[in-house]
Amino acid sequence: MPKQENNGKIRLMKISMQFLSLPNAAAVDADVLLLPVPHEQTVTYKPGTANGPEAILVASEQLEFFEEDMAWCPLLHMKLAVLPAVESIEGEPEEAFHRRLFEAVEQLPSDALLIALGGEHSITPEMLFARLPEGGTVVQLDAHADLRSGYYGSVYNHACPMYRIRERGYQLIQIGIRSLHANEAAQIESDDGITVWFDRALQRPGVWLKLLDQLASLSGPVWLSIDMDGFDPALIAGVGTPQPGGLSWHQGLDVLLALTENRAVDLRNIDIVELAPEPSQVSEMMAAKLVQKCISYWGKSQGFDQRPAQGSQVGADDE
């Protein structure tokens, strides 16, 4: 569990660097790469997102190997590696951290599924720029638009990632938005490269189906960015900046399914950010289960279920 330092900041205890308690494959051999990025520098409400990656990995120990939606054991056929964390260095300038993050991600095997575990949402742009340098579409599940050009004097604030991404020309599809500044609303109104599905409207079945139709019509490289506050805080209270309303668990999975079933989409990159572990441990369990769903849905769509059983689960105790 996290421990408290004398300066009042939460520090991570290194308990687990495994997912589902399975041994890590070498990165070059892995079909799935989990990258912990416990970066917390610009949060503005509830602290603790630096503890998110470790909490997700610890919670994963309580999951079954079998994934019920796709009806298979993904890691019986796929190899997974939890990579060394990209952590902040005390006193390091923001720009220097983000440059290090870009360099670390740029070196990763490009054909594997990358799932980055945050940490705050400010980590997304550099990873995206490293993995999809030629452009693409970002599908964002979030309570907030994250389109501020700067916040508290920094463009690296967790309120700014989608502004930085759109500035580079990537298309944005924002889902579940229910908190934004007037300037962000004006940008959305004037920018044809941003499509926003507001949370209130998505409660109408017809609107939800239109969103799924749009996801089914996408093509090319896609990055899925999941801020956990996009979900209803009644389901997941452990987030840095909760907002009332939000997506249900199954709505979130429907988005994932629409993308992985779309054969015209190249989805190899996902981030899951802004988890702030809480005493009930429900929030981190939901995040761990979401990681498993991402692996399962993506793996099944790529045909890994037809491959020999030579994955990370082979030889593991399964009782």
Q: How far is CA 35 from CA 1, 19, 143, 186, 272, in A?
A: 20, 11, 23, 35, 10
pLDDT at 7: 35
Contact 1, 40 (CB under 8 A): no
pLDDT score, position 176:
98
> Which domains, and CATH codes, for the chain?
3-306 (3.40.800.10)
3-state secondary structure 31-94: CEEEEEECCCCCCCCCCCHHHHHHHHHHHHCCCCCCECCCCECHHHHCCEEECCCCCCCCCCCH
Largest CA distance in the chain: 56
pLDDT of 258 = 98
* pLDDT recorded at residue 14: 53
Question: Please, how many CA atoms are within 13 Å of residue 282, restricted to the half-sphere of its CB?
Answer: 9
The pLDDT value recorded for residue 2 is 34
Which parts of the chain fold into alpha helices (H)? 52-60, 74-77, 94-106, 124-131, 161-167, 182-190, 199-202, 205-217, 249-261, 282-301
C-alpha span between 177 and 245 (Å, rounded): 10
Task: Give the pLDDT confidence score for residue 94 in this predicted structure.
Answer: 95
Q: Do strands 137-141 and 80-82 pair parallel, antiparallel, or not at all (unpaired)? A: unpaired
pLDDT value of position 319: 78
Distance (Å) of CA 255 to CA 119, 224, 248, 271, 289: 22, 10, 11, 14, 15
Closest of 208, 99, 216 to residue 156, by C-alpha: 99
Helix (H, G, I), strand (E, B) or coil at 128: helix
Q: How many CB atoms lie within 10 A of CB 82?
A: 25
Could you tell me the mean pLDDT of each successive run of 10 residues in the chain, 319 residues long?
A: 35 67 97 98 94 97 98 98 95 96 98 97 98 98 97 93 98 98 98 98 98 98 98 97 98 98 98 97 98 98 98 93
Look at residue 318 in the predicted model and tell me its pLDDT.
87
Whether residue 178 contacts residue 245, with contact meaning beta carbons closer than 8 Å, is answered with yes
In DSSP terms, 302 is beta-bridged to: none
State CA 312 to chain mean position distance: 22
pTM of the model: 0.94
